[in-house]
Amino acid sequence: MKRSTLPWLALAAILLVAIVLSLSVGAASVAPSKVGLALLSRLPGLQELDPGLSAGERTIVFDLRLPRLALALLVGAALAVAGVVMQAFFQNPMAAPSIIGVSSGASFGATLAVVSGMGVGLGGLGAVPLAAFVGALLATALVYLLSRRGGRTPVGVLLLTGVAMGSLMSALASLVLITGQDPARRDLDQVVYWMLGSVAGKTWTHVLVVLPYVGVAGALTWLFGRDLNVLTLGDDTAWYLGLNVEQVRIILLTLSSLLAAAAVAVSGVIGFIGLVVPHLMRIIIGPDHRALLPASALAGGALLVLADVVARTIAAPTEIPVGIITSLLGAPFFLYLLHHRKEYSM
């Protein structure tokens, strides 16, 4: 067996284990064998298989846990791919999707929706995810427009503008929440829980809304894998090799913003997936973005699914927001990388 295939087999195995655990483990456990047979029975030609699920177990697996699993896979993949792009874009291993104001813009939009009472529903999805998505994209657009200098967008200026925009949006969200919340409603609890990140209680509606953004933007990003490789060589080398650096940056910034905005809109702010996963996959898979992007998507999805399993079992029947789990797992690992990988030294 070729050495290069081992990481992919390991990723596939981890993903499979994560899927089985996600559908089996929770406040009400379902035997993994039943889950496997239930999934197989949905395939053409295998409908006669009897998984032995009760009506309650069938509802738990297919109506509650399966959409939650699908959304966790999509959100984790989107955040990881966006993180890969940001790190190549800024040529900085510390970069993450939140660096251009996506998370803070989404938080501002979500806070506005909650405080204004819009969160009761819109088109079957709810106004909070929609407002968060719009807020994330508006924040990113403002960062880009304010960073333009003579027809170009210097990376350093973009980075600093993103940091400033993130602080501004966070301050505005706090201001709106404090001055606008109705004591009769639990606005603060709702916003804080959203900011901690969770995929609990999500339905197929959320999955179907996010899927086109993640699928299309993710596929287009992969097509720019070679250009990402060239970008990491520096602007001068990229221009010399015939790459239209400014045009490629605009496209990649748009795609990564769509990925991150779609993820944050439905799940809230989930940290460290877009920061740690690209690091880990770069060590295991290598720096070629044509392989790094799909590997990061698989690993990001698997990591978020496993984190969600921990979030709903560690203090059962109480569920912990999955963003807390990813931070608890991601922060120590990232500190380890910083102290043990020479290429990350400043």
pLDDT at 215: 95
Question: Is the Cβ–Cβ distance between 299 and 80 less than 8 Å?
Answer: yes
pLDDT score, position 20 = 92
Mean pLDDT, contiguous 10-residue spans, the chain (346 residues): 77 94 84 77 66 75 90 96 91 82 88 74 64 90 87 82 91 84 62 85 90 94 94 85 87 91 90 91 92 97 96 87 92 78 52
Ramachandran area for residue 126 (φ above 0: left; ψ -120 to 50: alpha; else beta):
left
Tokens of 20: 């089985």
Contact predicate 261/137, CB 8 Å? yes
pTM of the model: 0.89
Residues 127, 118: contact at Cβ < 8 Å? yes
Instruction: State the Cα angle at 83 between 110 and 287, rounded to 5°.
Output: 175
Q: Which amino acid is at 203?
A: T
Encoded tokens for 292: 């790094």
The ranges assigned to domains in the chain are 54-337
In whole angstroms, how far apart are CA 224 and each of 109, 263, 289, 333?
30, 21, 9, 29
Other C-beta atoms lying within 10 Å of the C-beta of residue 249: 21
Find out whether 47 and 41 touch, Cβ atoms under 8 Å. yes
CA pseudo-torsion sign 194, 197, 202, 205: positive
Distance CA 69, CA 60 (A): 12
Superfamily name with CATH number, domain 54-337: ABC transporter involved in vitamin B12 uptake, BtuC (1.10.3470.10)
The whole-angstrom separation of Cα 163 and Cα 29 is: 44
d(CA 314, CA 325): 10
